[in-house]
Structure 1
Amino acid sequence: MIHKTYKELLAGIRTFMFDVDGVFTDGQVLLHPGLDPVRTFHTRDAYAVQHALKEGLRIIVVSGGVSAGVAESFARLGVQEFHPSVANKNAVLDQLVAQGLDLASTAYLGDDIPDLRVMERVGLPCCPADAAEEVKAISRYVSRFPGGRGCVRDVLEQSMKVQDKWLTEQAHHW
């Protein structure tokens, strides 16, 4: 059996699924009584997401957490498929598959144990540099960037370059 490299797999990826905490964020939250937990996103990750959407790639975000600020941030980027407060990410994947999601053309970027079952099923499992060891062990690609520090941009940029969707006219506009 011939195994494709992750670069070869990137050419066929049309859907990107992401966890939030530990992927878009560094996994830390600022807690203050009476307020939603405060998280930070890297602007390069945000740029890559909105650019990928403009180029026709599908972005799905699945998170165990819930935050009005996180939901609002993804909405501003154009992400229409945001699934917050998910206790079982594999069940969400089952629903998406029932609606026609092709697993072979899907990449998932996760960082911890709740992401494992989904990652085992998709065509290209990926993780940030600082992911849990169990996640790294099943990832076809481990970004050199940690969560919250550009790992989302890394995966999207590499895929879009392989697909000739990176330095398009859309790339020069937010």
Structure 2
Amino acid sequence: MEDKSYKEYLEQITTFILDVDGVLTDGTVTIMTNGDMLRSMNIKDGYALKTAIDAGFNVCIISGGSNLGVQKRLEGLGITDIYLGAHQKVNQFREYLKSKNIKAEHVLYMGDDIPDVPVMKLVALPTCPQDAAIEVKGISKYVSHKLGGKGAVRDVIEQVMKVQDKWDGNFEAKYD
């Protein structure tokens, strides 16, 4: 039996759940002499996240890392469901779905490495950036042509929103 094309899942997505390092960032960390670790996030990914939230989509972050700068950036985009320091991501995933009354068949998850696999196996649409680990690519229904931290999140959000006719192309009226 052949799996459905990933495009057949786009219409039913109401929720985006994302990892941070390797998905919203390129996976590199700059370590400062004082021990602070700096990450970079893509502005276009941020725009897509904010647009999705404004359109009524649920957005949740589940990451093994915990960084105050990352948390502030995500909160600044309007994301309120942020689980940092999550090493058993399935626990936070189940807690989040239960608290929001969301079904797994409405979830797109984007991860890039082994800790993401258990959750990816539970959602309707597991996705990953182009540079994800081979094990993650193997279970993903969609592998973005974009790299982690370089627009992969924007890629999947934009596809879902366009299929659902929620990606607003009338930017003049919106930003006058």
TM-score, normalised on structure 2?
0.93
**Unaligned segments of structure 2, at least 5 residues:** none
Conservation of the 8 A alpha-carbon contact between 2:112 and 2:136: yes
C-alpha spacing 1:169/1:36, structure 2 compared with 1 (3 Å): farther
Aligned AA (1:13): I
Seq. identity, %: 43
Matches within 5 A, 1:128-167: 128-167=129-168
Indicate the residue corresponding to 2:74 in structure 1. 74
Residue 4 of structure 1 is matched in structure 2 by: 4
Asked if the contact 1:51–1:170 (Cα under 8 Å) also holds between the matched residues in 2, the reply is no
- 5 Å matches for 1:1-174? 3-99=3-99, 100-167=101-168, 172-173=174-175
Residue identity opposite 1:154 in structure 2? D
Amino acid across the alignment from 1:56: G
Could you give the per-residue CA deviations for residues 18-50 of structure 1, whole angstroms, max 9, x where no partner exists?
000000000000001324310000110000000
**1: CA distance between counterparts of 2:53 and 2:169?**
13
- Count of matched residue positions in the alignment of Structure 1 and Structure 2: 173
Partner of 2:31: helix, strand, or coil?
A: coil
Q: Deviations over 1:62-102 (max 9, x none)?
A: 11111111000001100011111111101111212333221
- Partners of 1:118 and 1:73 lie apart in 2 by 24
2:121 & 2:65 partners in 1: Cα distance? Answer: 22
CA-CA distance at 1:119 after TM superposition: 0.1
Q: Aligned partners of 1:167, 1:126: CA distance in 2, in Å?
A: 23
Q: Is 1:36–1:68's contact at 8 Å kept on the other side of the alignment?
A: no
Question: Secondary structure of the residue that 1:11 maps to in structure 2?
Answer: helix
Contact 1:36 1:67 in 2 (8 A): no
CA contact (8 A) 1:55 1:170 kept: no
Measure the CA separation in 1 of the matches of 2:102 and 2:37. 32
SS at match of 1:59: strand
> Which runs of 5 or more residues in structure 1 are unaligned?
none
Q: TM-score, normalised by structure 1?
A: 0.94
Q: What SS class does the counterpart of residue 116 from structure 2 fall into?
A: helix
User: Which SS does the other structure have where 2:112 is aligned?
Assistant: coil
Q: CA deviation at 1:168?
A: 5.3
Task: State the distance in 2 between where 1:8 and 1:151 align.
Answer: 19
Amino acid at match of 2:128: C
| Cα root mean square deviation, aligned | 1.6
